[in-house]
Amino acid sequence: MALHRLADLAPNYRETIQGNDIQGLGVYTDRTDEKIGTVTDVLVDEEGHFRYLVVDLGFWIFGKKVLLPVGRSRIDHDAGRVYAIGMTREQAENLPEFEEGRTLDYDYEEQVRGVYRDTTPHTYNRDTYTYEHEPSLYKLNQQDHQTLRLYEERLIGEKVRQKTGEVVIGKHVESETVQVSVPIEKEHVVIERVTPTDVGQVVPPSEANFREGEVARIEIYEETPEVRKEAFLREEIKIDKVVEQETVETQDTVRHEELDVNAPNLRVEER
């Protein structure tokens, strides 16, 4: 039967109790209306049921904190008070001191229960004991508690947009050596000696034109390769983002409070 601080089991409980927080309320005796301390914390079981109020007895016993079973308390939210039913100074002195952070085992709780129990003999076993065995200590009833609110948790699905990565797109220049074939022409002179068909025949003096220094000129040309570069559009890149939608299933454990009613031999109507 592990016990937990209410704030540890339900960190956001103050958002749901509409300002009626028990912590900080003054604790008074129901007999003499004398203030005996202040509620500093609430201990609940694994199912969220209130089991103990932690009371600082600074007004009675300075510096001592004790446990008050919820069944022995009466909460008056209108007056801002918690009444300790039947609490006496002798009980306060006999209660074991509550220390923050200590493990509340069966033996410790038995010390607490032993102070509040009446003189009727009890035969409880640590292996079978449940809080339902002693409703006088742990049951909340309408007479002693003006309002008992039952709470439940629910899952709220929300989306959080977060950056998962980055794509960087740019361009760079690469150089390579390429070859291109250019056909060129080169001119050269061909001198061919031929034998005329009328070789050896006598020609008239008028045809025999002997001129010294006669020169024939022929211009010789050749082509050389000339390479230039031209830029042209090779490819076009389009960049866009595509949003894909999907439904993600998630789960968690939620709790809810159920009302416990213990009224032996009595008729109880729920409306």
The pLDDT assigned to 203 comes to 78
pLDDT digits (tens), the chain, 271 positions = 688 888 787 776 665 444 567 888 999 998 888 999 999 999 988 888 889 999 999 888 888 999 999 999 988 878 889 999 989 999 999 999 999 877 889 999 999 999 998 776 777 888 889 888 888 888 875 554 444 455 677 778 788 888 888 888 888 898 989 888 889 888 888 888 888 887 878 878 777 777 776 777 888 888 888 888 888 888 888 888 888 888 888 888 878 777 666 656 655 566 5
The pLDDT assigned to 67 comes to 95
The pLDDT assigned to 28 comes to 95
Please tell me the pTM assigned to this model. 0.52
Task: List phi, psi (to 5°) of 195.
Answer: -100, 120
The pLDDT assigned to 55 comes to 95
The pLDDT assigned to 83 comes to 93
Residues near 113 by beta carbon (within 8 Å), at least 6 away in sequence = 69, 134, 137
- In whole angstroms, what is the distance from residue 38 CA to residue 35 CA? 8
The pLDDT assigned to 112 comes to 93
The pLDDT assigned to 146 comes to 42
